[in-house]
Amino acid sequence: MDIGSRRTSGRRWAAWAAIAAVLAGCAIGYLYLSPFSKPIGHGPAGPAVPREAFQGPWSDRRILALGVGDSVTAGYGASTGHSYFDRIISNPPDEWPDLAGACLQKVLPNLSALNVSVSGSTSDQHLEDQIDPFPVQEPDVFGIVFMTTGGNDIIHNYGRTPPREFAMYGATPQQTEPWVAAFETRLDTMLTRLRGKFPGGCHIFLLNIYDPTDGIGDPQNAGLPPWKDGLALIDAYNAVISRCAAKYSYVHLVDMHAAFLGHGIHCTQPWLPQYHRDDPHYWYYDNLEDPNDRGYDAIRRILLLEVIRIKPELESGSPSGNGAAALQHALSS
């Protein structure tokens, strides 16, 4: 082969290599920017928490931290010691430096903890199997309750069965209307009965329900059946949670839905308004319905920020709740 032929052949190979590189780049870009890409990232997740709030004891009262609800509170998908409930109580050995020592065990020397939540459970089971059997505590015990409820009512059985109450996937708004109303009555009962379990007072930190589709409403891109009304049902349940929380001074709404937007199946798509340039990563576990370790870290942080708000009350020893009438209602419900 003469020199000219070699040069022509070299140019062809260079052109083909450039085309291949462009195609590979496009494929990589497509995979990264599409819902199929779920980079988890590393390091702390969620908002900063002021460590100075944990520099000294808050109270020497007997305090019970109680977990109630579904797999999010049970910690399904978390590695050992890394659920939100575990990390609120005590720091794991590999705690991130920014939250070393920032846990309830550090500031509440007479703290005990009990988590009665069950993975896969629905809101009726939270009332009947977790709250109702829970014993009334002694008058000197103050309660700090962490609660997730309602999520499994919505997502089960992922369209494998016709929609029904407590397994609504695929339902229309007309079908869900009575079920949503029943959930509101049930949640109100749960909150008042929980208050009745703590004659010495309590605070309930009630998390709302997140959306792994990041507000897009395309579960088919997560391998599930399409459900055009799914977002409307999440919104309806979250509106119930918000209304019930607002009724009682001892209940605090914790906005997990807002915290997780942009960390679902569309986390890598920068054109979306919920995109997080500082942390464009996936906070959910392999099953889509529970958080991964970083997601649980974020939940722990938004909860700690809310718990810090009741620090003055714990330090002063003042009772919680909205008066004797509310307590009497809770005890008689």
- 3 forms beta bridges with none
Residue 32's pLDDT is 44
* pLDDT band for position 287 (cuts 50, 70, 90): very high
For residue 241, what are the contacts with CB-CB under 8 A and spacing of at least 6?
150, 187, 206, 208, 209, 253
C-alpha triplet 135, 151, 156: angle, nearest 5°: 110
Q: Which amino acid is at 185?
A: T
Check whether 326 has a pLDDT greater than 60.
no
**Under 8 Å between Cβ of 315 and 61:** no
Dig out the tokens for 4 from the structure: 């000219």
How far does Cα 257 stand from its chain's mean position?
Answer: 7
- Give the number of residues written for the chain: 333
In the sheet where 251-254 sits, what is the strand order? 111-115, 62-69, 141-148, 202-207, 251-254
For the stretch 31-77, pLDDT in tens is 444 455 699 999 999 999 999 999 999 999 999 999 999 999 999 99
- Candidates 229, 180, 237; CA nearest to 207 is 237
For the stretch 252-266, pLDDT in tens is 999 999 999 999 999
Domains of the chain: 34-332 (3.40.50.1110)
Query: Distance between CA atoms of 51 and 99, rounded to whole angstroms?
Result: 6
Residue 12's pLDDT is 59
Query: Distance between CA atoms of 287 and 277, rounded to whole angstroms?
Result: 25
**Under 8 Å between Cβ of 155 and 224:** no
Query: Distance between CA atoms of 158 and 168, rounded to whole angstroms?
Result: 8
**Under 8 Å between Cβ of 72 and 290:** yes
Q: Note if the pTM is more than 0.85.
A: yes
How far does Cα 43 stand from its chain's mean position?
Answer: 18
Q: What are the C-alpha distances in Å from 316 to residues 30, 61, 177, 193?
A: 56, 10, 44, 25
Query: Distance between CA atoms of 84 and 196, rounded to whole angstroms?
Result: 25
Beta-strand ranges (E) seen in 239-304 are: 251-254
How far does Cα 34 stand from its chain's mean position?
Answer: 24
* pLDDT band for position 28 (cuts 50, 70, 90): very low
- Candidates 214, 80, 188, 200; CA nearest to 137 is 200
Residue 317's pLDDT is 74
- Per the prediction, the chain carries an average pLDDT of 89
- Candidates 91, 99, 102, 197; CA nearest to 144 is 197
- 68 forms beta bridges with 147
For the stretch 66-101, pLDDT in tens is 999 999 999 999 999 999 999 999 999 999 999 999
Query: Distance between CA atoms of 157 and 72, rounded to whole angstroms?
Result: 17
Dig out the tokens for 150 from the structure: 């309602």
